Amino acid sequence: MFNILKKVFGLTSKAIKEVAPQKKKKITKDEFEDILLEADVNYDLVELFLEELPEKFDRARAYNQLISVFQYKADWKEDITAKPFVDMIVGVNGAGKTTTIAKLARYHQKQGKSVLLGASDTFRAAAIEQLSLWAKRLNIPIVATRQGHDPSAVVFDTIASAQSKQFDHVLIDTAGRLHTQTNLGEELKKMVRIANKAMEGAPHRKMLILDGTQGSSSINQAKVFNEMIGIDGIIITKLDGTAKGGSVLSIAHELQMPIYYIGIGEQPDDLIQFKANEYVNTILDEIFI
C-alpha cells in the first residue's frame, strides 16, 4: 500500500523536495510551514499545526499533528445491512464521477458482491453512453434510458429492480451539477426523496466525488452539496496527477466527513480505501530520515 501511495503522491513528493531537498531527523517550524503550503495545505490549518509545535521537532511530533486532523467523529455508514445498499454518487462535471462509479462497481465485484448501475445522469447523452460502456466492459447490468428522461424515474426503477433481483449494491450516477444551477439542485433533492420512496432509508450513502487536482478549492463545492442534500462521504480522484496532495488534510479538517476512497489512476482497479495513517506517513517519508 505504501508503494502505491508513494506513486500516487509522486508529484506532491516532488513539490516537497523542491522546498526541502534534504531529509532530516528534525525540522524547524519555518521549514514545515513551507512544505505544507507547497503541498496545498490551507494556510489557516498550517498555522494551527504550528501553534502546537516547538521550534524544532522530529517525525513523531509531526505525525501527531497531521493525524490529529482525522480524529473527528464521523458516521462511516458501514454497519448498514440493507440489501441492496444504495450509493448515490454526486459531484460537478469533470471530477471523474462516472469513472469512479465503474471503479466502485469493480471494487464490489472483486469482493463477490452483485452490483446494479443506475444511469440517472440523463442531462447528457454522453454520460449514459459512458456508463453503459463501463457496464458492458465489467459485465455489470445497468438501468438506463434516453437523454432528457426523468432522472428520478431511473432512480426508482434501478432500486426496484435491485430489490426484486436481490442485488447487493446499487450505484446511481447523477448529472454533474454546478451549485449555481438551482433547478438542477432541486432535481437532485427530488432524486433523494424518490430513492427513499423506492426503498426506505435509501440512498444509504450520498458520496461526493472531489477532483484532487483542484486542491483545497474543492472544499467550497463540498459545502454546497452538503447543504443541499447532506453528504455522507467523500472520494477524492486524480491525486496521481497533482502536486496538491496536502489538500487532503484541508478537506478532512474543513468537512469533518469520512474519506472512503482515493482514485489512483484511470483503470477499474485504480481505487483504494483511504487510510489516514498511511497517507500521513507517505507525506512524512519525504521530509524525515
Work out the average pLDDT over 44-73: 97
Confidence class for position 4, pLDDT limits 50, 70, 90: confident
pLDDT tens digit string along 200-213? 999 999 999 999 98
- Pick from 102, 79, 5: nearest CA to 232: 79
Between 68 and 218, the more confident residue is 68
Question: 245-275 burial, b for 16+ CB within 10 Å, e for fewer?
Answer: bbbbbbbbbbbebbbbbbbbbeebebbbebe
Tell me what the pLDDT averaged over the chain comes to. 93
Cα-Cα-Cα-Cα torsion 287, 55, 44, 52, nearest 10 degrees, comes to 100
**pLDDT of 180 over the 70 cut:** no
Q: What is the pTM of this model?
A: 0.94
Does residue 252 register a pLDDT over 80? yes
Q: Which helix (H) or strand (E) holds 204?
A: none
**pLDDT, position 93:** 85
Instruction: Categorize the per-residue pLDDT at 181 as very low, low, confident or very high, splitting at 50, 70 and 90.
Output: low
Q: How far apart are CA 47 and CA 51, in angstroms?
A: 6
CA torsion, ordered 96, 84, 79, 257, to nearest 10 deg: 30
State the fold for domain 85-275.
Answer: Rossmann fold (3.40.50)
Specify the higher pLDDT residue, 179 or 212. Answer: 212
Structure confidence at residue 5 (pLDDT)? 85
What confidence category does residue 217 fall into, taking pLDDT thresholds of 50, 70 and 90? confident
In the chain, where are the structural domains located?
A: 2-70, 85-275
Q: Does 78 or 45 have the greater pLDDT score?
A: 45
| CB neighbour class for 10 (10 Å; exposed up to 12, middle 13-18, buried from 19) | middle
